[in-house]
Structure 1
C-alpha cells in the first residue's frame, strides 16, 4: 500500500465531514485567521523590537512563509485530509508517532494563537464595556465555540463576512494614516534600514513576532477534507491568502509608523486605534468595533482548525475515538470542538499575550521544518505526482532553511 492509499481514506466513521468550501470561501477563511490573528494586536510589540524598521520585519516574515506556503500547496493536493500536517509527516517519514506529535503541535499552536487573539479582543472590548478582561475573554471563546459547532458552511460563511469587515478596517487604517492623520511618526525614508548594524538583531526578533501575523494560511490544509476540488482550490487559495495578507500588512504597518509616535506605538495593547486618536468620536468607535470583530474572527477560525486536527488524528486512530465523534445534524466534530474551547479558555487565563504569540510562532516554525522535510523525502523517494500541484525541490529546501533561521532569532 502506498502512502497515498493510506490517506485517501481518512477513517471508518459513518458520519464524514462535508465538502462545501470553494476557492472564495477558503481564501476568506485563510485571510480571516491570518489577518485577524496578529496585525490588529501585535504591531506595537513588533515596533518595540524593530523600531522604525517594523515594516521590514513583516516583509522578512512574508518571505519565510512564502516558501513553506508553496510546499503546503503541493502536499495539500497530495493528501487533502483533516490534520494535514500530520498526514504529510507520516507520509514523508513513515512514522505514526511523529505524525501524532506534529498534529498535536499544530492543534496546540492554533489553541495558543486563539488564546492570544481572545485576549486582544477583550482588550478592545474593554473600550466599550466596563467588565473584567477575563470575563470578556471567556465570553468571546464560548460564543466562538458555539458558532464553530453550528456547521462548517455556516461558521466559515460567518468568518468570511467578518473577514471582509476586518480587511476593510485595515484599508481604512492605511488611508487614514497616510492621507488624513497628522504625520507624527517616522518618515518613509527612515523606514529603510542600513545594510549592516546592530539594528538587525531587533529586526530579527521582531520578525518572529511579525511571523505570528502570518500564522493562518497553513490552517487551510486542515480543512482540506471539506474543500470542493482540493487539487485546484487549495493552491489558488493559499497563494491568494499569502499575497493579499502581505500587501495589507505592509500598507498598514507603514501607515501606523507614519501616523503614530514610536514611543506611543511600542507601549500599546490596541495599536491600530492610535491612528484615530485625533479623529471624530464616531470614527474612533466605529474602528473599535471593527477591531473587536477582527480579533474575534481569529479565535473562531483557529478554533475550527484545531478541532479538525484533533478530529483527523482521532479518525485515523492516533487519538481516542471520542474525539472523532461527528454531530449528525451539523456534520461538525463536536467532542473535539468542546475540548479545544476549554483548552483555549485555560490558556487565556494562564499566559500573557506576548508569551502566547511567541510560543505560537516557535511551534509553527518547527512544524514548518518538519513539513518541508517531509516533502523533500517524498520527492526524493518517488519524484513528482503529475495529477497534483508540484513545486521544485528547492522550494521545501529553502522552506527548511528560512524557518530554522527565523526560529533561531529567538536566542539572539
Structure 2
C-alpha cells in the first residue's frame, strides 16, 4: 500500500527476470568502470593496478551478500532507505541514506557521461559540451520510454560491451606488441610505499564495482524478487571481477604506462597498432558501453526518488508516473537535469572519487542496519540469509576504505 500523501494512479510493472536483471547489473557495473577509469587507477597504482581492483572486489563482496539478504527481506524501490529504516527505526536517517544513494547515482552517471563524451569525441571530433548534452537528452528519453524496453536495450548493449572487453583481453594478451609491463613486474612486494598508491587506487577501482546495489532499487519491477535478486547480485559481482582483472592485466601488458596514465579513453590504447577498422570498431563499442552506464544509473536514481516520494519522504510529485509508460517521468527529468549540470562542470576524477566516498557511507549504514536486524533475531521468512559475520566484515571493510579515501 502506498504511504504518504500520494497515491499514484498506476503501479510499477513486474517484468524483470533473472537474465534481464543480471544484465542490468552488469550494464551499470562494467560500463561504468573499466572503460573509463583504468587510466587514472594506473596513474596511482602503476603496474599494480590490478591489485586495486582485486581489493575493491573484496570490499564489495561482503556488502553484496548483505544486500542480497536485505533485498529479499524488503523488496522495494529505494531499498537502502527501507533497510536503514528497518534496522534503526529512524525515518530521518533512512531519508538521508536514500538521498545519499540518489546523489551517488547522479554523480556516478555524470562521471560516466564525461567518459562517454571522451570516447565519442575521439570518433567525431565534436566539442565535449555538445556531446554531453546530446547523450543526456537521448538517454532521458529512453529511460522515460519504459522499464522493460530500457533494460532490454541496456541488456543488448551490455552483451556488446562485455564482448568489447573480451576483445581487449584477447588482443592485449595474444595479438598486440608487449609495450607495457611484464607479468612479473605486476606482482607487488609485500612491504613498501607502493601500497599507499594501491590503496588510493582502490577507492577509484571501487567505483568500477558500483552497480550491483542498483538492482535492489528496481525490486518492485522484478519477477519473484526473493529468488531473483540474490542470484543476480552474486552473478554480477563474480562476472565483473573476472572481466576486470583480465582486462587490467591485458592493458598493463600492452600499453606503455606513461600513455595509460590519465587517458580519457584508456582501452582504445590497446589497439594503437591495430588496423583502422579494428580501432574504429572498438571505439564504437566503448561509446555504447559508457552510454549504457548512464542509462542504468538514470533508471536507478529515478526509482530511488520515486520510492522515497511514494513513502512520503520526498515531495509527492516525484512519485508521479506516466499513464502511458508507467515510468516516474518527473523524477527522470529531474535526474537528467542534475546529470547534465554535473557533467558539464566537473572532471571525471573528482566525480568518481565523490561517488566512491558516498557509496561507502551507504554501504557502512546498510551493513550496520543488517547487524541490528540480525541481533533482534527477527524471524527468517522466505528470504536469502547470511551469517552475522558477513555484515560485520562489510561494515569494517567499507569503513576502512572510506577512512583511507579521506586521508
Tell me, yes or no, whether TM beats 0.5.
yes
Q: CA deviation at 1:386?
A: 3.6
SS of aligned partner of 1:128: helix
Q: From 303, 307, 312, give the equivalent of 1:317.
A: 312
Q: From 299, 303, 306, give the equivalent of 1:304.
A: 299
Q: Deviations over 1:125-171 (max 9, x none)?
A: 11122321011011101100000000000000000000000000000
Between 342-351 and 240-249, the greater mean CA deviation after superposition: 342-351
Question: Could you say what the CA RMSD is over the residues aligned between the two structures, in angstroms?
Answer: 1.4
Residue number in structure 1 paired with 2:160: 165
Residue number in structure 1 paired with 2:266: 271
Residue number in structure 1 paired with 2:67: 72
SS of aligned partner of 1:185: coil
Q: How does 1:6-155 map to 2 (within 5 A)?
A: 12-155=7-150
Q: Deviations over 1:101-135 (max 9, x none)?
A: 11111011001000000011011111122321011
| Structure 1 residues 11 and 221: CA distance shift in structure 2, 3 A | farther
Stretches (4+) displaced over 2 A: 6-14
Check whether the contact 2:71–2:79 (CA below 8 A) recurs between aligned residues: yes
CA–CA separation in structure 1 for the residues paired with 2:197 and 2:387: 33
CA–CA separation in structure 2 for the residues paired with 1:74 and 1:382: 14
SS of aligned partner of 1:228: coil
CA–CA separation in structure 2 for the residues paired with 1:406 and 1:220: 23
The count of corresponding residues between Structure 1 and Structure 2 is 407
The reply to whether residue 209 of structure 1 matches residue 209 of structure 2 is: no
Q: Which runs of 5+ in 2 are unaligned?
A: none
Check whether the contact 1:7–1:81 (CA below 8 A) recurs between aligned residues: no
Q: CA deviation at 1:196?
A: 1.0
CA–CA separation in structure 2 for the residues paired with 1:13 and 1:44: 45
The reply to whether residue 190 of structure 1 matches residue 188 of structure 2 is: no
CA–CA separation in structure 2 for the residues paired with 1:265 and 1:128: 19
Q: Deviations over 1:283-329 (max 9, x none)?
A: 00000000000000000000000000000000000000000001111
Q: Deviations over 1:36-75 (max 9, x none)?
A: 0010011010000000100000000000000000000000
Q: Give the alignment's TM-score, normalised by structure 1.
A: 0.97
Q: CA deviation at 1:10?
A: 12
CA–CA separation in structure 1 for the residues paired with 2:6 and 2:352: 33
The reply to whether residue 333 of structure 1 matches residue 328 of structure 2 is: yes
Q: Give the alignment's TM-score, normalised by structure 2.
A: 0.98
Q: From 390, 395, 407, give the equivalent of 1:395.
A: 390
Residue number in structure 1 paired with 2:371: 376
Q: CA deviation at 1:334?
A: 0.5
Q: Deviations over 1:336-381 (max 9, x none)?
A: 0000000000101121110000000000000000000000000111
